[in-house]
Amino acid sequence: MAVFALSDLHLSLSNPEKSMDVFGSKWDGYIDRIRNGWMSTVTAEDTVLISGDISWATKITEAEEDFEFLSSLPGRKLLSRGNHDYWWTTISKMDAFFAGRSYSGIEIVRTNVIEAEGALISGTRGWMLPGDSEFGQQDKKIYDRELARLRLCFAEMDKYDPGRSRTRIIMLHYPPITKFDHPTDLTEIIREGGADICVYGHLHGLAHRKVFEQIEFEGCRYYCTSGDYLGFVPLKLLSF
């Protein structure tokens, strides 16, 4: 049994026009590469964390083929939101959607806590960092809201494990730290919340130069899990 991570799948099975193939050779045949990479590493007993940008669909009903693809892959799949997941809606609506279909092993992470192989997992989307050149006043409002949601993740974890004896994993889509921005408000909350591992995505192509990962920073290990960064092979975080 193990916990893996692979984000930014950018599935578009119902809308081939949104294929990522146009973004260079690293994305050539990426759907098949996701399937092959997953099948070569993940078993039915494992859990995979998918930190956003899961499907290009704009409505959840338009993502059915993408969810069917995920359902066909082995293991438990924990999904959190990315900036391109326009299909994402309320927890109750998503739960109702998944409950009415025969998908296998798909669960939603949104400041709630899910247990997997003894670890506690929670997450939120995050947002661009204040040091970003495009960061404006409206971004500040979204950023502050995401800080509050991240605090809520840890408050929920504390309900499950007040003694903080279990491994804590945080899923974010936007990087909470880069080679050029650290520490940040997000990493301070992550430190205070006692996270052991933080996975994030969002960075593609030339933005890979910003990646900050596999470094224990203030007690937490950070991993970039964007599909093209990992070559579409899920990264093992924990094994039991």
What does the block give as tokens for 209?
A: 């130069």
Q: Which of 144, 11, 122, 127 lies closest to 71 in space, CA to CA?
A: 11
User: Under CATH, which architecture does the 2-239 domain have?
Assistant: 4-Layer Sandwich (3.60)
Q: What percent of the chain has pLDDT over 70?
A: 98
pLDDT number for residue 240: 81
For residue 111, the model assigns a pLDDT of 96
pLDDT tens across 167-216, in order? 999 999 999 999 988 899 999 999 999 999 999 999 998 899 999 988 89
155, 122 Cβ separation under 8 angstroms: no
Q: Per-residue pLDDT tens for 50-109?
A: 999 999 999 999 999 999 999 999 999 999 999 999 999 998 899 889 888 889 899 999
pLDDT in the model for residue 100: 84
pTM attached to this predicted model: 0.95
Domain assignments of the chain as residue spans, ordered by start = 2-239
Residues 6+ positions from 140 with CB-CB distance below 8 Å: 130
Please write the tens of the pLDDT for every residue from 7-19.
999 999 887 767 6
* CA gap 216, 152 in Å, rounded: 23
Q: Which residue is listed with tokens 């989307």?
A: 125
pLDDT score at 177 = 95
Question: Tell me, what's the pLDDT at 25?
Answer: 79
Q: What is the pLDDT of residue 215?
A: 87
